[in-house]
């Protein structure tokens, strides 16, 4: 497992200017009647990448996947796979396979016949099919279920049959439509890691559609965040979380506190933001915000410290408030601190000690503080 992790870390073809993208969406637009599902979208995905399309329902992520599989054709624009324009190529001739959200297992066929279905279409020799099916069954640990029909399996087992069926043909690209959507939370978490291992083992390019940000963050090399048929940001999970490109992305992925304000002064990377509430925030991540412009300062709750005494750190941004609400989650506690102007700030702190000696309580006076590098300035 450790070696996989190190492979994963060193894998970053998107930052290599010489690398050639494997899948390219070029100004793709898709309209259904009056409704624009995908709007002038461009996107590049690299070979062996685990790429996630993340967005709320109706953002166009499934349409992108269906266009890649060949079930829908773009209204305009091009989709290239390994340099080949996919337009006009029917689904049954594309070198991609899809794992359906409903699994779409053939109910009248046994597990092994489901897995063998695509191989038979290829006209593979019978003995080779048997070998490949056995290999696939082993891969998803369903050897003893080969003769069962789909309705005799549990949800998790069906999911694995669907997965085995879709990778059996060794497609160039595997498309996964909400692959874990129908599983319960525990099973979902386990399966996330199984999928990642499988992708490494087979060396395939995975494009996964999901609305679950945790799922995307855990599994994907890069995430494209979509909204109303447009790409909001394409970046690694860390970048998406720590350096969101816009308010939408910051708000969509994880929890965030946002302070509205004006850039009072700036030099090099740092700036001072003065909020309408009289608060001035020093930040080192000013991005391209120009002096005098209206911006938002975004900071994640876990980057904010809450204390009952005024912090002594001179560098830190400090504000006084009152504990408004406390959510104890076991592993951490989320404090809702109301500042003087009424804005409620969320701050989470890890419960590293079993029982705190100096617990904060409702309506206590409290101080929030964060370092200048803890948040980012968003201009969009």
Q: Which residues bind other proteins (CB under 8 A)?
A: 69-71, 90-93, 96-98, 100, 102, 104-108, 117-118, 121-122, 151, 165-166, 169
Closest to other proteins by CB, 154 vs 308, is: 154
Minimum CB separation of residue 221 from other proteins in Å reads 24
Q: How far apart are CA 166 and CA 157, in angstroms?
A: 14
- Cα angle 133, 138, 143; round to 5: 80
Q: Give yes or no for a contact between 143 and 137, defined as CB atoms under 8 angstroms apart.
A: yes
Least distance (Å) from other proteins to the CB of residue 102?
A: 5
Task: Compute how many other C-beta atoms are within 10 angstroms of the C-beta atom of residue 320.
Answer: 12
Least spacing, CB of residue 61 vs other proteins, in Å: 17
3-state SS, residue 187 = helix
> Between residues 166 and 199, which has the closer beta carbon with respect to other proteins?
166
User: Least distance from C-beta 109 to other proteins, angstroms?
Assistant: 9
- Residue 368 in contact with residue 347, Cβ under 8 Å? yes
No. of helices (H) and no. of strands (E), the chain: 9, 20
In the bound complex, what is the minimum distance in angstroms from residue 60's beta carbon to other proteins? 18
Nearer to other proteins, 77 or 91 (CB): 91
Q: What is the DSSP string of 220-257?
A: -SEEEEEETTEEEEEE-HHHHHHS-SSHHHHHHSS--E
CB of 136 to other proteins, least distance (A): 13
Three-state secondary structure call for residue 148: coil
Q: Are 197 and 4 in contact (CB under 8 A)?
A: yes
User: Closer to other proteins at the Cβ: 102 or 154?
Assistant: 102
Q: Which of 234, 200, 239 is nearest to 219 (CA)?
A: 200
Q: Name the residue nearer to other proteins (CB basis): 49 or 72.
A: 72
Nearer to other proteins, 60 or 118 (CB): 118
Residues 6+ apart with CB under 8 A from 380: 245, 246, 247
Min. distance of Cβ 149 from other proteins in angstroms? 9
Judged by beta carbon, residue 37 or residue 105, the one nearer other proteins is: 105
């Amino acid at each position: 497992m450790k070696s996989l992790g190190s492979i994963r870390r060193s894998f970053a073809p998107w930052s290599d200017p010489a690398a050639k993208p494997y899948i390219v969406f070029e100004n793709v637009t898709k309209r259904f009647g009056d409704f624009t599902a995908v709007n002038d979208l461009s996107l590049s995905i690299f070979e062996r990448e685990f790429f996630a399309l993340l967005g709320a329902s109706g953002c166009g992520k499934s349409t992108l996947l269906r266009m890649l599989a060949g079930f829908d054709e773009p209204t305009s624009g091009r989709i290239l796979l390994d340099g080949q324009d996919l337009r006009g190529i029917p689904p049954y001739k594309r070198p991609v396979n899809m794992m359906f959200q409903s699994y779409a297992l053939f109910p009248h066929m046994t597990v092994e016949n489901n897995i063998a279905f695509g191989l038979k279409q290829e006209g593979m020799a019978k003995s080779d099919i048997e070998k490949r099916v056995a290999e696939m069954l082993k891969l998803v640990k369903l050897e003893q279920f080969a003769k069962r029909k789909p309705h005799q399996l549990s949800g998790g087992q069906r999911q694995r049959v669907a997965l085995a069926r879709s990778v059996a043909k060794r497609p160039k690209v595997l498309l996964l439509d909400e692959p874990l959507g129908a599983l319960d939370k525990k099973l979902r978490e386990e399966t996330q890691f199984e999928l990642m291992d499988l992708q490494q083992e087979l060396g395939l390019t995975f494009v996964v559609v999901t609305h679950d940000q945790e799922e995307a963050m855990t599994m994907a090399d890069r995430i494209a965040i979509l909204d109303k048929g447009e790409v909001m940001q394409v970046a690694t999970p860390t970048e998406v979380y720590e350096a969101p490109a816009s308010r939408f992305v910051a708000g969509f992925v994880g929890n965030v506190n946002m302070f509205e304000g004006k850039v009072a002064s700036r030099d090099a990377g740092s700036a001072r933001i003065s909020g309408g509430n009289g608060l001035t925030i020093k930040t080192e991540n000013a991005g391209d915000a120009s002096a005098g412009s209206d911006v938002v300062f975004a900071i994640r709750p876990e980057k904010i410290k809450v204390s009952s005494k005024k912090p002594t750190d001179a560098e830190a941004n400090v504000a006084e408030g009152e504990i408004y609400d406390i959510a104890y989650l076991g592993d951490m506690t989320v404090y809702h601190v109301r500042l003087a102007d009424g804005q409620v700030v969320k701050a989470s702190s890890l419960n590293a000690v079993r029982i705190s000696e100096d617990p904060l309580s409702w309506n206590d006076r409290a101080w929030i503080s964060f370092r200048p590098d803890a948040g980012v300035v968003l201009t969009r």
